[in-house]
Amino acid sequence: MLKSRCFILILTLLLPAAELFPSAGALDADERKWLSRASRTESEGWIFLHIEGSPFERGFQHGYLLAPEIKKVFATERHLVYWEYPKDFELFVEVGKRLFDKSLDPELKAELRGMAAGLEKAGIDSIGYDQILAHNAFMEVLWYWWPWAKQSLAARTPAPLPVGCSAFIATGSYTADSGIVMGHNSWVDYALGSSFNVILDLQPDQGHRMIMQTLAGYIHSGSDFFVCSSGLVGCETTIGDYAAVYDTTGTAEFCRVRRAMQYARTIDEWAEIMVTKNSGGYANSWLVGDVNSGEVARLELGTKFHKLEKTKDGYFAGSNIAEDRDLLLNETSSNFSDIRKSNVARKVSWQRLMKKNRGRIDAELAKAMLADHYDSYLGSDTPGPRSICGHNELADGISLPLAGKAPFYPSGAIDGKVVDSRMARQMSFWARWGSSCGTPFSADSFLEEHPQYDWLKNYMDDRPTREWVIFEKSK
């Protein structure tokens, strides 16, 4: 269900699920029954998908109802790999299967196979189980396995995809009602980011219900903002300048985080699942809260180093730089004092905002903080790669760009999400699509001004100003 601040939004898609693709293959009785329990609605640029049932059933629902979006994101991934990596997309599909297929939970494997079946029934037979598995491991394989393996596979070293996110979680004396408040915006390049507009309400037949932001075709979040019926809420910011060895014997991050969301009952259980058989893939600073106890935590998870901190009166913030000394100095190349860099500048901004707003933080103030454009290096409100609401495309061309990317590369904050304890108990949260601040982005205008990025033409969507809306679990 979707709500605005003052009124209930009209659902933009009211067709029965089974009538979405009239030209696709005929649905049998079981498939119609599965789809009758699922739904897809759209509002303010978001797609809200509800799926439920057994693993294969909910996978089928997902694949069938998001078939056009899954097809689109696969085309985008192939295009990005073609231009940014010296190997074909098929290599990464093979690697994904070789690394993760044998160790994949039977439950998650059935969900992926169900998704492939749903895609096929919707008329897309070119995306099977192997491709969907690689899609879910896309970030881990390209951002972590590839840097580790590239020396034996290629002479050219590709620039990493831009990683980011700004986030905080606060409780106790920092918030207006002493409960938990959490805010997060996702940073990624605008081509891939165009497909992170899915809010997934997943009601499994076992474990906890989850509502999360995600990418079409994912069985986890990827952008990592989630609310669980266990009372756990969470988000993350990627650890920047990461240089640790990848462990090919570990369990894929997307498997661990999905298992933690679905089955953990406490912060400690959540962290234990994430640390056990950790591969080092998608190394993050995880911010997690338990609305049952009012406790919040930060789990910084590298490959060999990790640290869990918890408090019932305080905050944790994330800006893509590790706080733990051992992880920072052993597994990253970050200079923790260089305020010219985005991650350090935003760390300072979070410190300023938390000090200024202590005791007043609520959902509305969290929205404003996610839209903050203060540049701690320049000492002025200047939207760019150093502001909490990131806009690398607006950089001055002289400032340090996001890690691994050239000046003006079209990337930055693509959304905003906020939840507090009251909303979490109702399985709901605020979300804004486009950017946290609402600044519009025109793909054609950008490419006209920056023709060096014409290879991204037709792979970036316009992002007009959107309103904040509430998403909550389906009844």
CATH topology match: 30-41+53-153 vs 166-472: no
Tokens of 29: 């009785």
In the DSSP assignment, the letter for residue 282 is T
- Phi, psi at 464, each rounded to 5°: -70, 170
Would you say how long the chain is, in residues? Answer: 475
Q: Which ranges of the chain have pLDDT less than 70?
A: 1-25, 151-163, 397-404
User: Using CA atoms, how far apart are residues 16 and 265, in angstroms rounded to an integer?
Assistant: 35
Burial environment of residue 15 by CB neighbours within 10 A (0 to 12, 13 to 18, 19 or more): exposed
Count of CB atoms situated within 10 Å of the CB of 23:
6
Distance, CA of 366 to CA of 156 (rounded, Å): 42
The answer to whether the CB of 32 falls within 8 A of the CB of 43 is: no
Label the pairing between strands 39-43 and 2-3: unpaired
Strand partners, 142: none
**Which residue in this structure is represented by tokens 């003006």?**
408
Residue 265 has what pLDDT? 98
Contact in structure between 207 and 262 (CB atoms under 8 Å): yes
Where does 316-467 have alpha helices with state H?
325-331, 342-357, 363-370, 421-425, 443-449
Residue 213 φ then ψ, to 5°? -80, 145
Q: What is the largest CA-CA distance in the chain?
A: 63
Tell me how far apart the alpha carbons of residues 232 and 71 are, in angstroms, rounded to a whole number.
32
> Which phi and psi angles does 224 have, rounded to 5°?
65, 75
* pLDDT (tens digit per residue) in 406-464: 789 999 999 999 999 999 999 999 999 999 999 999 999 999 999 999 999 999 999 99
List pLDDT tens digits, range 348-385. 999 999 999 999 999 999 999 999 999 999 999 999 99
Token pair of 474, please?
A: 């389906």
> Which SS3 state, helix, strand or coil, does residue 342 take?
helix
Token pair, residue 35, equals 């789809």
The pLDDT of residue 249 is 92
Burial (CB < 10 A; 0-12, 13-18, 19+), residue 322, is buried
In words, the CATH class of domain 166-472 is alpha beta
To which H or E segment does residue 374 belong? strand 374-375
Buried b (16+ CB within 10 A) or exposed e, 281-295: bbbbbbbbbbbeebb
Q: Any idea which fold 30-41+53-153 has? A: Penicillin Amidohydrolase; domain 1 (1.10.439)
Q: State the burial class of residue 368 (Cβ atoms within 10 Å of its Cβ: 0-12, 13-18, 19+).
A: middle
Domain ranges, ordered by start, for the chain:
30-41+53-153, 166-472
Q: Tell me if residue 399 falls in helix, strand or coil.
A: coil
The tokens of 105 are what? 């939970």
